[in-house]
């Protein structure tokens, strides 16, 4: 056996997407053993493959917004719809930071701080490729509703809103945006837990998911079912002691239509950081 070259940041990001969806059980999400009614494992495989050119662009130094839009556009070349929009929102700045040689909270904060109004506009264009689940915008910011897509461009430009600024507005209601403006705190902490964990990577992914879900309410669940349900979901995840118990929770969440998708996004981001920091597959 000869020594093999390491994977590039874009390759690790794609692999993180694949390992995330393979991790099982991840209650309420598509995983190696479960599909959702119109969203299947194979859609995630195709989404990950399609996202890679955009991830490569992030590594090469293209504007973060353009790279994100390219990744989402490629991800959308499958029939399941929105498979990995949130994952990619986290991965794009992390890939950039890794390519620049500083995959740390400070390094990715620099990437976030450097985002522009054009990046924010590109983010809205990206949202036109798939249906993204979002809550209602804050009062006074109706013109920034993500569902407006590229029609929001004049409002973004008038407010001189960068992508960082947009994420700051969204952070209270969106766990991914909170990562963006909080130095990816939960991402880096979870990556270290994954590295310290043992066994197959897909089992570590499932445990990381459960820990994150028990730690804070999933904001996608909040958007879709309200705060009370999201709190209850968090409590139920916290009561799970191992992956075997999580299997039962997975059946329950599937029956109840509970989909903690933001927690899955964070899991993918943490897997990426862990891969960059030497996690062996």
- Measured from the CB of residue 201, what is the shortest distance to a copy of itself in angstroms? 5
Shorter beta-carbon distance to a copy of itself: residue 7 or 159: 7
Q: Is 33 in the site for a copy of itself (CB under 8 A)?
A: yes
Which residues, 6+ apart, have CB-to-CB distance to 223 below 8 Å?
133, 134, 135, 173
Q: Rounded to whole angstroms, how far apart are CA atoms 200 and 194? A: 11
Cα dihedral 13→15→18→22 (10° resolution): -120
Q: Is 139 in the site for a copy of itself (CB under 8 A)?
A: no
Choose which of 198, 241, 244, 280 interacts with a copy of itself (CB under 8 A): 280
Q: Is 251 in the site for a copy of itself (CB under 8 A)?
A: no
Q: Rounded to whole angstroms, how far apart are CA atoms 152 and 132? A: 15
Shorter beta-carbon distance to a copy of itself: residue 112 or 208: 208
Q: Is 54 in the site for a copy of itself (CB under 8 A)?
A: no
Choose which of 84, 170, 190, 202 interacts with a copy of itself (CB under 8 A): 202
Please give the size of the binding site for a copy of itself, defined by CB under 8 A. Answer: 39
Q: Rounded to whole angstroms, how far apart are CA atoms 81 and 37? A: 12
User: Per CB under 8 A, which region of 40-48, 163-171, 179-187, 218-226 contacts a copy of itself?
Assistant: 40-48
Q: Is 65 in the site for a copy of itself (CB under 8 A)?
A: no
Q: Is 7 in the site for a copy of itself (CB under 8 A)?
A: yes
Q: Is 151 in the site for a copy of itself (CB under 8 A)?
A: no
Q: Is 78 in the site for a copy of itself (CB under 8 A)?
A: yes
Q: Is 50 in the site for a copy of itself (CB under 8 A)?
A: yes
Per CB under 8 A, contacts with a copy of itself among 119-138 are 128-131
Q: Is 52 in the site for a copy of itself (CB under 8 A)?
A: yes
- Measured from the CB of residue 261, what is the shortest distance to a copy of itself in angstroms? 19
Binding track, positions 13-32, relative to a copy of itself; x by CB under 8 A: -xx--xx--x---------x
Which tokens hold the place of 148? 């407006």
Shorter beta-carbon distance to a copy of itself: residue 91 or 233: 91
Choose which of 29, 54, 73, 96 interacts with a copy of itself (CB under 8 A): 73
- Measured from the CB of residue 46, what is the shortest distance to a copy of itself in angstroms? 4
Which tokens hold the place of 183? 């130095």
Residues making contact with a copy of itself (CB under 8 A): 1-2, 4-7, 11, 14-15, 18-19, 22, 32-33, 40-43, 45-46, 48-50, 52, 73-74, 76-79, 128-131, 200-202, 280-281
């Amino acid at each position: 056996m000869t020594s093999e070259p390491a994977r590039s940041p874009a390759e690790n990001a794609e692999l993180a997407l694949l390992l995330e969806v393979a991790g099982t059980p991840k209650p309420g999400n598509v995983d190696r053993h479960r599909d959702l009614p119109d969203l299947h494992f194979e859609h995630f495989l195709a989404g990950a493959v399609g996202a890679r050119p955009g991830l490569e662009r992030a590594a090469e130094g293209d504007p973060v917004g353009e790279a994100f839009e390219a990744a989402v556009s490629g991800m959308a070349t499958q029939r399941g719809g929105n498979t990995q929009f949130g994952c990619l929102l986290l991965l794009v700045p992390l890939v950039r930071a890794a390519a620049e040689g500083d995959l740390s909270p400070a390094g990715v904060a620099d990437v976030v701080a450097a985002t522009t109004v054009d990046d924010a506009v590109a983010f809205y264009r990206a949202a036109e490729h798939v249906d993204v689940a979002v809550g209602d915008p804050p009062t006074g910011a109706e013109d920034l509703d993500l569902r407006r897509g590229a029609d929001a461009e004049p409002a973004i430009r008038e407010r001189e809103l960068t992508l960082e600024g947009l994420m700051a507005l969204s952070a209270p209601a969106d766990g991914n945006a909170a990562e963006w403006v909080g130095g990816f705190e939960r991402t880096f902490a979870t990556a270290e837990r994954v590295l310290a964990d043992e066994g197959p990577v897909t089992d570590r992914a499932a445990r990381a998911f459960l820990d994150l879900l028990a730690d804070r309410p999933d904001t996608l669940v909040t958007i879709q079912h309200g705060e009370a349900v999201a709190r209850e979901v968090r409590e139920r995840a916290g009561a799970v002691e191992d992956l075997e118990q999580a299997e039962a929770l997975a059946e329950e969440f599937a029956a109840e239509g509970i989909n903690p998708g933001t927690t899955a996004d964070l899991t993918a981001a943490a897997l990426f950081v862990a891969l960059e920091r030497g996690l062996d597959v």
